[in-house]
Structure 1
């Protein structure tokens, strides 16, 4: 059996946004108790990540590292159609993940104690992002 749903997430700008509650609700609606939850972001300037959920400094540190590795306005980039964060956002999404697979066990995502599911917005401007979830497995 499989179930599919698309989440729409409004991001006010660059940063990490916790999707755990929305993903958990989707898995519950699916009725699947054992299987895989596949998440796919339908954008090229945002990404998905499995990250520590206890200390927000981890996400700040990741953002600081990424800002150093792929700075906005770098003269290396020719593609600046939507501003100085345009091409860096594309590079950031290529370096990270556009999809995740999470096991489903007993009707919930079987994440580790300190793991959370996040959308990582790489643009400064607000965006509406779509994350498609496909849940495969055995129903109750």
Structure 2
């Protein structure tokens, strides 16, 4: 019974916020987008504790968390994915949009299209060397849309 006032306080301070963020077209590769996400969501600063869920609305790009300091990590990730899933593979039949089309879908499936990041005291709880990365697997992928959903208790 004594827990109810705590839960009541949590419930009255809780928020849900969702919006679609549009990222400009990027060249093929792995791109650090942490600052873009934080700039687009000032509501993060208001949360004492919470979660940020990012959902990429595309099947030929991916989201991941990885190294944010040394860009050679992103270059090496791109090299590994291109080595592992080769274009012009003769048994691919889904090639109407070009030789990078089916490989992009496979790479997207390997990485996935979502990440969830904890929030504490108004900050994403990424590790010192972690960043949010958009993996663009197409030569001409175009703009990318991400649904950002915040849930948490305000400070």
Greater than 3 Å deviation, 4+ residue runs = none
Distance in 2 separating the partners of 1:9 and 1:44: 15
Query: In 1, distance between residues paired with 2:26 and 2:149?
Result: 26
- Alignment of 1:17 onto 2:31: yes
Partner SS for 1:127: coil
1:45 corresponds to: 60
Query: Which of these residues, 67, 72, 77, is aligned with residue 57 of structure 1?
Result: 72
Residue equivalent to 1:8? 22
Where in structure 2 are the equivalents of 1:1-140 lying within 5 Å? 1-30=15-44, 31-140=46-155
Distance 1:101 1:12, change over 3 A: closer
TM-score, L = length of structure 1: 0.94
Higher helix share: 2
Q: Give the total of aligned pairs.
A: 140
Measure the CA separation in 2 of the matches of 1:88 and 1:61: 17
Quote the residue 2:3 is aligned against: none
> Cα deviation per residue 1:112-133 (whole Å; 9 max; x = unaligned)?
0000001110000141100111
* Structure 2 unaligned residues grouped into runs of 5+: 1-14
More strand as a share of residues: 1
Q: Normalising by the residue count of structure 2, what TM-score does the alignment of the two structures yield?
A: 0.85
Residues 24-58 of structure 1: CA deviation (Å, up to 9, x unaligned): 23443353231110000000000001010111111
Larger Rg: 2
Structure 1: which 5+ runs fail to align?
Answer: none
Partner SS for 1:116 = strand
